[in-house]
Amino acid sequence: MPMFTASTLRWLQLCQRRLWRDLHLDQTPQQSQPTRLIAVIRSADQREIQRAFTMPTWAHGVELTRQLMQQQVEAILGACVEATLTVEGTTEPIRFGGRIDRLVRQPDGLYAAIEMKRDPVLREGDALQLDFYTWLLCLMQGIDWLPAIFWLGADDDGFPISVIDHAYDQFRFQQQLADILQLLFEPQPPAHLISACKECHWRSNCYPDAARVKHVSLLSKLNRQTLDDLRLAGIQHLDQIVAMQPDDLRQFRGIKTKAHAIHASARAWVEERAVWYGQLRDTCRVDDAYFFDIETLQNEWGGTEVWSIGWSDSRGAVGVILVAPEYPAGDLELADGQRVTLVDDAPSAWRVFARFVGAGDQPIFAWTGYDAGVMRKSAPAEVVEQLNPRVDDLCALFDRAVKLPVKGVSLKVVARYFGFNWHGYDDWFAAYSDYLRWRRSGDRGLLASACAYQSDDVEAMRVVRRWLLENEPN
Ligand code: SF4
């Protein structure tokens, strides 16, 4: 049976479809395994003792919370609470559940919720979340009202920076809940893609649904206000955009200078092909060019440092430079022929890279401006002086010339459209963890996996540029 949770409720502000799917289909995050619950118990000498319990399942957490409430412990951190109700008009009862940061016993023996927020200010949806927990606790304990508190921010000792009383109003919340539950009786809302889709567990269903109906939210770089304006003007599908002239699109807020790009993007989706709408810059046509891609981490001073630089020339020679102070600096060749250069630190990685690409004037492409930005901030001055005039953003060059029927312009999305596949994983974090494990173990298999990811990234850029050169209209 699906469960209505606080996170379901928070999504209401963003996407009604998410709420509808969570309520109708059995895939709520709350049903994944809670990890730990802590009971605060008062000892015989009046000291507070914390006792941790590991919970294998959500149901186990609910039962444990119930037992601890019966035992009248002082507080429960990470309490799992749940109630089942039959809502008028529904055939099946609905489960309502929530994981409460801090459940605190009141002088009258009842338990009330404290919601802890890392941010020092309340955000949209926070009040609704605490209303929901309080409503659930009232239901479980057979009462109409309970106090409820926010703890905002935390000082160095873990104490809240501010404590805010929350005014729970049973009538107001029940009215809101009734309005929300009306969604149960309506058809599923269509998929309107938003930036929050990236964090939503339904995205693998919603992207194809939006693509099937060619919904306007497939267009990248349209903000919510523009999408609202388009909706108010009755424009919901990309063929309606295609039927307009680019200049007509400028009447909508947020489009203005992007009108041609948006029109081309709509055409790409409708015609299901790449659409050229701009010129390639001459730098993109230079035969002899380099490609590079960096991987970074935060250093202890909060700065960004490279741990890996992958590079390639336009003939396909690929190298990877890795920071690995535990190993002697120098060149290695992996079993698959991959060339790897080990260096002691990030500045050395930049110097080696500058040596590989030489002192000529060939362009050096990266995907987006991130890599060049990190270089300017963190590479040695002589490297910045040598490379900065040559680095260029291939993603921007591509995006100003061509639109594809894909969502976004990440290298993973664009290169895949042209048939390129990453040999192993396509996830920087997997490469980073293999790199760290190799540094500890010396296992060449792990090193090969991390390097394969890095060299695939630069190979993917070469594939995109080759496509541009081979397909540019005369
Ligand atoms: S993926 Fe996006 S559209 Fe689909 S339910 Fe989630 S937030 Fe809504």
What is the tens place of the pLDDT at every residue in 172-196? 999 888 888 888 788 999 999 998 8
**Quick one: angle between helices 126-141 and 170-181, nearest 10?**
100
Q: CA–CA separation, 442 vs 361, rounded Å?
A: 38
Local confidence pLDDT in tens for the 474 residues of the chain:
678 888 888 788 789 899 888 888 865 444 455 578 999 998 888 888 999 998 888 899 999 999 999 999 999 999 999 999 887 767 778 889 999 999 999 999 999 999 999 888 888 789 999 999 999 999 999 999 999 999 998 887 778 889 999 999 999 999 888 888 888 788 999 999 998 898 888 999 999 999 999 999 999 888 889 999 999 999 999 999 999 999 999 999 989 899 999 999 999 999 999 999 999 999 999 989 999 999 998 877 778 899 999 999 988 899 999 999 999 999 999 988 889 999 999 999 999 999 999 888 999 999 999 999 999 999 999 999 999 999 999 999 999 999 999 999 999 999 999 999 998 888 888 999 999 999 999 999 999 999 999 999 999 999 999 999 999 998
- What distances in angstroms separate CA 176 from CA 12, 37, 93, 106, 123, one per listed residue? 11, 30, 19, 27, 18
Q: CA–CA separation, 63 vs 83, rounded Å?
A: 12
The answer, yes or no, to whether any atom of ligand 1 lies below 6 A from the CB of 206, is yes
The answer, yes or no, to whether any atom of ligand 1 lies below 6 A from the CB of 19, is no
Atom 1 of ligand 1, nearest CA residue: 203
Ligand 1 centroid from CA 206, angstroms: 6
Contact by Cβ (8 Å): 446, 434 = yes
pTM over 0.85: no
Q: CA–CA separation, 314 vs 216, rounded Å?
A: 37
Q: CA–CA separation, 85 vs 442, rounded Å?
A: 57
Q: CA–CA separation, 437 vs 52, rounded Å?
A: 31
Could you identify the atom of ligand 1 that is nearest to the CA of residue 18?
Answer: 5
The answer, yes or no, to whether any atom of ligand 1 lies below 6 A from the CB of 17, is yes
Domains of the chain: 3-185 (no CATH), 195-272 (1.10.150.20), 282-471 (3.30.420.10)
Atom 2 of ligand 1, nearest CA residue: 197
CA angle (334, 455, 342) in 5-degree steps: 50
Could you identify the atom of ligand 1 that is nearest to the CA of residue 191?
Answer: 3
Ligand 1 centroid from CA 229, angstroms: 20
Ligand 1 centroid from CA 15, angstroms: 6
Measuring CA to CA, which residue among 195, 203, 255 is closest to residue 229?
255
